[in-house]
Amino acid sequence: MFKTEYDMRAAGTWNETQQTQTDTICPYCGVGCELTVHAQERQIVKVSSPLDHSVTQGNLCIKGRFGWQFTQIREQGRDASPQKPSVPLHS
């Protein structure tokens, strides 16, 4: 399971000096919010937005703030694709 900032701080593994930051645009809607993706040990650990961004002013919606957690699913051996129905949809 992915580790959140809270979990990592509690475990003593949170290390901002070893994190990389990458600026990108949120893909979830057409607003164009700017995201800063924080990664540590090749895992996304946090997503933030610049305080001076004209749209977000440092705030993100629930998808922008926590949607990154979905990206960790495949890396841990789980299949994130939709399940195939066990019964045919058409008769």
| Predicted pLDDT of residue 72 | 67
Alpha helix (H) residue ranges in 1-91 = 5-11, 62-66, 71-75
Contact of 64 with 33, CB cutoff 8 Å: yes
Could you tell me which CATH number the domain at 5-75 has? 3.30.200.210
In the numeric block, which tokens belong to residue 15?
A: 């290390």
Q: Inform me whether the pLDDT recorded for 22 exceeds 60.
A: yes
Domain ranges of the chain: 5-75
Q: Inform me whether the pLDDT recorded for 6 exceeds 80.
A: yes
Question: pTM of the entire structure?
Answer: 0.70
Per residue in 34-87, pLDDT tens? 999 999 988 888 899 999 988 889 999 988 888 887 776 655 554 545 544 445
